[in-house]
Amino acid sequence: MIPLKKIEHYKGELSLGIMVTGLLACFFIAASYPHFSPMLVFILQSGFEAGTVGGAADWLAVKMIFDEIKIGRFRIVPASGIIPRKQKSIAEGAGKLVAEEWLSKDSITGWLSSFDAASALAVHLKKIEQNGELDRFINWGRARIIQWLDSPGSDSYFEMLLREGLKNIKPMHFLGHSVPDEQFTKVLHRLLDHAPEKIADTMTSQTVYELLRDNIEREQGFFSKLFFDAGELTERIITKVTSILRSIAADENHELRLEIIKRASVWKQALKGQDNNTWDTWIQEFIGETDLKQYIPGIKVKLKSLLDSETDSGKKIDELLKNIWQNTIFMLESDRSLQVAVNTRFTEIASDMLQAHHGKIAELVTYNINKLSVQEIRDQFRSRTYDDMQWIRVNGAVAGFVIGILIGLFRLIIG
């Protein structure tokens, strides 16, 4: 038994075969049994003749769409092989249709304006996090940065970055123009809370004692007139200075402390009227003459240590990046102003790209159709229209059969 699917696949050939078989049967009956209902045989013969003609004509019409009807090199049926011969025109027409109708600037812009880019981005970011791809992405980024840090080319980049970053550093200008007076005074008090104590501790060290004593001994002639021994004088000086320093650190209202703050404040006020401070100029000259390359290896080591996932700093960086990722998703889902900004920006970028490259849509369609071989074109059309083409052949045979029956009846009536 022939499978039903196979019959459906070849229904065009089957319909034409039925018409030809019926026509041959009518010829056989008319010749062999002339007295067997000649009127019925005549009507059926007329129907099968027309059905055969209709089926054959539609078979030829369908075939002519894809294939040229040739004998040798000569095309015997005009206009056959429409699609292969008109490939260029079809490609240009399809490109124009797609670019100007289906994917016109207005239609694409309209779709873009209704597209919720913020929600789509939030869903995509959430999917990355849920699939565990975020950790892989962070590790990939860390590995790429470390790989770049180990490359020779990173040295010159770091040197350039340092020089550019330090080029405009003007601490005195910043101090005079940007730091509020109240904040400046507060910082001075904090400095005087600790610095004098540190200096006092340093002065009580053996190194400072010996250095000061040696200098006093070199002036022995002068100090001997005061009836002081060098060692004794050194101890007296250190004791007195450390006492003063510790009292400055301990007492916020100490006379010397207040005087230091007063003079520092006057100096800061003077900085406000100076755009180019001598100290800033000297600092810039010092930076310009400094070989920054010697600091780059240390910076690289510090950065790699910070990035290392096994260190506390590396884990904190990972946690920070994950928090930023989650906050971004939350903001995209809940912050209406951010949603509007993202959607607007997406539409602007996409529209700009569309304006710049819309003409390439037609070019792309035309190019891709033109690069297909004749056989590929046939396959593309047949794979999508084969069943419809078969039904055209069936309809041609059936319509021809019905029309033939009507013509046969008409002949009998008028005959």
User: pLDDT tens for residues 287-311?
Assistant: 666 677 787 888 888 888 887 877 7
* pLDDT at site 327: 92
Amino acid found at 236? R
240-245's contacts with Cβ under 8 Å and 24+ in sequence apart are 241/200, 241/203, 242/200, 242/203, 242/204, 245/196, 245/197, 245/199, 245/200, 245/203
Burial code of 267-306, b = ≥16 C-beta within 10 A, e = fewer?
ebeebeeeeebeebeebbeeeeeeebeeebeeebeeebee
State the CB neighbour count (10 A cutoff) for residue 263. Answer: 10
Q: Does 358 reside within a domain?
A: no
Q: Does 59 reside within a domain?
A: yes
Q: Does 402 reside within a domain?
A: yes
How many domains in the chain? 2
Q: Does 189 reside within a domain?
A: yes
Distance CA 244, CA 257 (A): 10
pTM: 0.43
Biggest CA pair distance of the chain: 169
Locus of tokens 């046939």: 378
State the CB neighbour count (10 A cutoff) for residue 204. Answer: 12
Q: Does 304 reside within a domain?
A: no
Domain end position, chosen among 276, 292, 325: 276
* pLDDT at site 275: 57
* pLDDT at site 219: 61
Domain end position, chosen among 254, 276, 298: 276
Q: Does 349 reside within a domain?
A: no
Q: What is the chain's pLDDT, residue by residue, as a tens digit (415 residues)?
A: 456 566 666 777 888 888 889 889 888 888 888 777 788 888 888 888 888 888 888 887 877 777 777 666 666 666 667 777 777 787 777 777 777 777 777 777 777 778 888 899 999 989 988 888 888 888 888 888 888 888 878 888 887 877 776 666 666 666 666 778 788 788 877 887 888 778 878 877 888 777 777 776 666 555 555 545 667 777 777 788 888 878 888 888 888 888 888 888 877 777 666 555 666 666 666 666 667 778 788 888 888 888 787 778 778 888 888 899 999 999 989 999 989 999 888 888 888 887 777 777 777 777 777 777 777 777 777 777 777 778 888 888 888 889 888 888 888 888 6
Distance CA 315, CA 320 (A): 8
Domain end position, chosen among 245, 276, 307: 276
What residues have CB less than 8 Å from 166, skipping those under 6 apart?
287
Locus of tokens 């005009």: 78
Distance CA 49, CA 21 (A): 10
- Domain extent, residue 237, equals 171-276
Plot region of 163 (φ>0 → left; ψ -120 to 50 → alpha; else → beta): alpha
Handedness of CA 37, 41, 42, 43 (dihedral sign): positive
- The one-character DSSP state at 273 is T
Distance CA 387, CA 10 (A): 9
Q: Does 326 reside within a domain?
A: no
Q: Does 289 reside within a domain?
A: no
* pLDDT at site 156: 82
Coil, helix or strand for 75? strand
